[in-house]
Every structure is written in C-alpha cells, then in structure tokens.
A and B are shown apart, each in its own frame.
Chain A
Amino acid sequence: MIPLPPGQWDRMAPLLTECFLQLFAFYGAAAELVPGSDPGPRSDRDELASFVGLFGPHARGALLTVTSMPLLIATHPMAALGQPIDECMAQDWHNELSNQLAGRLKTKLTPHGIGDLRLTPPKCLIGAGMRGFSRDHDRALAFRAMGVPVQVVLELYVDETLDLGRVVAPDEAQVAEGEFLLF
C-alpha cells in the first residue's frame, strides 16, 4: 500500500468534509470548513484528541479528531437533558463522535471499493496544545463548529490502483444515516 496520493486526497477531502458537516449539523452544531490544516488558536487546556484505526484489504490508517471541551459539552446528548457534563463524559462523547465520523466516511467510501474497512474502538487523549500531524503528507482539515476549532487528520494508506473518481459498487444498497430497517 502507498500513502493516499495527493490527487486522491483532493477527492477524499470533500467526502470527509461532507461527513463532518452533516454529523455536527445533526447534533445542532453549525460548522464550517476553514482554510489550511490547523483551525487556529485554541484554549491552552482541556483539548481532546480521539483516534480511530481503520484497517482492511484495500486501505489502512487512522482518523484523528482534535477539539476542546466547549464543543463536546454543547453537543453532548445528555446536556440537552439537563445533566452536567464532566471530563470523562466529554471524552466518551468525543470517542462516539469520532466513531460516527469514521462510520460515515466508511459508508461514503464503499462505492469506491475501499469501504470494507474495520474500525477500531476509539481512544481519547486529553491534554494541552495538541495538534494532529500525518506522517507522510499533510492530510488534515480544519473546521470551526459553534465557533470552536476542530482539526481532523486522515492518515491513510491505500492500494496503488485506488481511484476515488471511479464507482465500482454502485448498486450496493446501504442503510443511510438516521434510517432504520426491520427485517
């Protein structure tokens, strides 16, 4: 496998952006993509980074999301029910958001032949001044959600033949986000 080539990143970035914006919109957080790979100054404490591993026969890598407490508190489902959100709850919620982001991306990649990825259970780190970096290339997006900076880094190795411009499994029915099926 090779690091995701620049031309493929150009196709991947809009998919990842769409996944991010839709996910945060669902949780009531208006978000926007901002230029560059770093969303700018953040608080000097209470930053959280959540990491999800992705592995499969045609791609492997990781998705890292870095943000801070205010966004996690504002979007936490239990906050809407009046429950105070502590640091442990924010970490758990950050992991769940990262998992949902990775799941959405996986679903969007399926028609392009690399959706057969397995996701690892997410892990969260908490600390000050955290920034995400990819090892070989700068594969990061910067957002602001409810005015809070968020950085999303996708470190992905793929088959040399990957072409995200090509649909190889167009007819595979999927269950879209928010849908349910009863068998």
Chain B
Amino acid sequence: MLMARKVIIIEDSQTIRHQIGKLLLNEGYAIVEATDGVEGLDKLRTEQDAALALCDINMPRMDGIEMMEKIKAEGTATPPLLVLTTEGQASLVKRARAAGAKGWITKPFQPDMLVAAVRKLAGPP
C-alpha cells in the first residue's frame, strides 16, 4: 500500500497551520506540524521521509531563515523547503535561497496557488 506524501508545516499561527493542514489533507497529503523554528529543526531532522517542508519566517524562539541556515550547516538532508511568509524583500529571499529554500510564497495566499506549489515541489500526494 502506498503511503501519502508527507508535508511538514512549520508555522507559529495555529490558524494558518490548520488552514494549510486541512487543504493538504483534502488533497491527499499527510501532514506533520511544528509551531516554531526549534520544533521545525527537530522535525526536519527526524521526519526524513517528508516530501516537503513549508516554513514561515517570523516565528518565536527561532525564525525560519535561521532554522534553514542551521540545518544546512549541519549537513542534514532535508526535503525541499518552501517559505511561506508575510515578507517579500529581495534581500530575505536571497538569504533563504542561499540557505537552501526552493520556493517563496508571500501571504496572504490563494489556496489553489499553494496547492500548485506543493504539487510542483513535493510531487502528487
């Protein structure tokens, strides 16, 4: 039996986590949640079969870019990282890209656009 592809949602807003979670579950993906960069780092280390990680930038304890820079410095293999944030400055995009991000979505987002980006990076569910 085939397992659904897994997406890690690293986002401090419960609203956004639940919204994306419901959207991706409806599409057939499995989801794992993390509420800040510290938890996100842990999930990236342990959920090695994940197909994608969606990651906010502005979060408590550790922000998303710092989290990506840390996991890259460790040399831990990660799924594609897709940034989902309110911010859109070129300097931040450049930093995220250098840290290994494969995409960037600026909030607020259209659900179908988010699903399209997830399918592109994670593959079909």
A138 at the interface (CB under 8 A from B): no
Q: Cβ of A102 and Cβ of B86 under 8 Å apart?
A: yes
**How many residues does chain B have at the interface if contact means C-beta atoms less than 8 Å apart?**
35
Docked CA distance A103–B89 (Å) = 10
CB distance from B100 to the nearest CB of A (A): 10
Whether B89 and A106, one on each chain, are in contact in the complex, defined by CB atoms closer than 8 angstroms, is yes
- A contact residues around B30 at 8 Å (CB): none
Binds B, one of A3-11, A158-166, A170-178: A170-178
> Within 8 Å of chain A (Cβ to Cβ): is B72?
no
Q: How far is the CB of A99 from chain B (nearest CB, A)?
A: 6
Q: Given A103-B86, A121-B59: A178 and B93 within 8 A (CB)?
A: no
Size category of the binding interface on chain A: 35 or more
Asked if B108 contacts A176 (CB within 8 A), the reply is no
The docked-state distance in angstroms from the alpha carbon of A32 to that of B46 is 48
Task: Determine the chain A residues whose CB is within 8 A of the CB of B109 once the complex forms.
Answer: 178, 180
Q: Does A13 contact B (CB under 8 A)?
A: no
Nearest CB in chain A: distance from B53 CB, A: 15
State how many angstroms separate the Cβ of A110 from the closest Cβ of chain B: 5
B87: Cβ under 8 A from any A Cβ: yes
Chain B residues, CB < 8 A from A23:
108
Bitwise interface map of A from 73 to 92 toward B, beta carbon under 8 Å scored 1, else 0: 00011100100000011001
B interface: dominant SS: mixed
Least CB distance from B122 to A in Å reads 12
Kindly state the separation between the CA atoms of A7 and B49 in the bound complex, as whole angstroms. 55
Given contacts A99-B13, A182-B120, contact A177 B89 (CB under 8 A): no
**Does A60 have its Cβ within 8 Å of any Cβ on chain B?**
no
Contact across chains for A107 and B88 when beta carbons are under 8 A apart:
yes
Known: A99-B86, A102-B86. A175 touches B15 (CB 8 A): no
Q: Judging by beta carbons under 8 Å apart, are B88 and A116 in contact? A: no
Interface string of A143-183 (1 = CB under 8 A from B): 00000000000000000000000000000111111111111
Contacts of A102 in B (CB 8 A): 86
Contact at A174–B88, with CB atoms within 8 Å?
A: yes
Interface residues of B in 33-91 (CB under 8 A from A): 58-60, 85-91
Asked if A38 is at the interface (CB within 8 A of a chain B CB), the reply is: no
A116, B93: Cα distance in complex, Å? 13
- What residues make up the interface of A, taking CB atoms closer than 8 Å to B? 23, 26-27, 76-78, 81, 88-89, 92-93, 95-96, 99-100, 102-104, 106-107, 110, 115-116, 118-121, 172-183
Q: A174-B88, A175-B90, A178-B113 are in contact. List 16 more A-B contacts (CB 8 A).
A: A27-B108, A77-B15, A77-B16, A78-B15, A92-B14, A95-B13, A99-B86, A100-B108, A103-B88, A119-B87, A121-B12, A175-B106, A177-B107, A177-B108, A181-B104, A182-B117
The 6 closest A-B pairs by CB, nearest first: A103-B86, A175-B88, A180-B105, A96-B13, A182-B103, A77-B19
